Amino acid sequence: MKHMLRQSLILVSGLALGSGLTLGTQALVQQQQRQARQPPEAPKVITIPLGLRGEPSLGSAKAPITIVEFSDFQCPFCKRFHDQVMPSLKRAYIGTGLVRFVHKDLPLPFHEYAREAAEAARCSWDDNQYWKIYGALFENQECFACKGITSIAQTAGISKQRLEGCKKSGSTRKAVNSNLSESQLQGIHATPSFVIGRTQGDTQTGIVVEGAMPWPQFRAVLENELRKIKP
């Protein structure tokens, strides 16, 4: 009799445990279904000044879409964008007149060489060497400490005298500070971040995209924005 009672108790406990697991699984499935039915969070939309007379840019001023990049030369994710996305972006959109690309500096405070790199790149703006320095800095990102920013910039084509004179003037520091203030005002703290949208005069209204997403995903965002403005 005791043996039969023990078996009954084990059977009841097993059924209860099995029911608990089933109910737990059902609850998880129901939660996932509710989340799937919820509409995705709308991207943040902001309006920013482009500062096109003082900000480095690529592409036609008549391009229907402008991308404003907030970037840090010491950020590994920014380098990933430069290496894996920028070549396709140049070929398929910037070079074909569909996109204008504008760079703004967001050197993060915990990156020792980020501000120096941003200022060195801007010192080459008047000599039309900016994008060459831009590329060289990302390509040598792992050598900032061993080579030095000045040496990398010189190798890319800017003279030491030009760099020293530019730094003394303080103009590049003011430009970087202006970008930093703008990013804080707009709540942009991650690098890289992109504002993608239309331009009206010297201002742009667009969605904010954060992170170095793969090229297919980034291209899908661009195509979606282009569809919005096509008649």
The domains of the chain are located at 1-38, 45-229
Alpha-carbon span 132 to 141, nearest angstrom: 14
Express each pLDDT in 131-181 by its tens digit: 999 999 999 999 999 999 999 998 888 888 888 888 888 888 999 999 999
What is the four-CA torsion angle of 168, 169, 172, 173, rounded to 10 degrees?
70
**CA nearest neighbour of 73 among 99, 101, 112, 100:** 112
Q: Report the predicted TM-score, pTM, of the whole model to 2 decimal places.
A: 0.80
Q: Residue 34 pLDDT > 90, yes or no?
A: no
**CA nearest neighbour of 191 among 81, 117, 93:** 81
Q: What would the mean pLDDT of 84-102 be, rounded to a whole number?
A: 97
Q: What would the mean pLDDT of 87-107 be, rounded to a whole number?
A: 97
Q: What would the mean pLDDT of 212-220 be, rounded to a whole number?
A: 96
Looking at domain 45-229, which of 3.40.30.10, 3.20.20.70, 3.40.50.300, 3.90.1150.10 is its CATH number?
3.40.30.10
Average pLDDT, the chain: 84
End-to-end CA distance of the chain: 84
Task: Provide, rounded to the nearest whole percent, the portion of the chain with pLDDT above 70.
Answer: 80
pLDDT at 33: 60
pLDDT at 9: 42
User: Model confidence at 13, in pLDDT bands (50, 70, 90)?
Assistant: very low
pLDDT at 20: 45
Q: Residue 4 pLDDT > 90, yes or no?
A: no
pLDDT at 164: 84
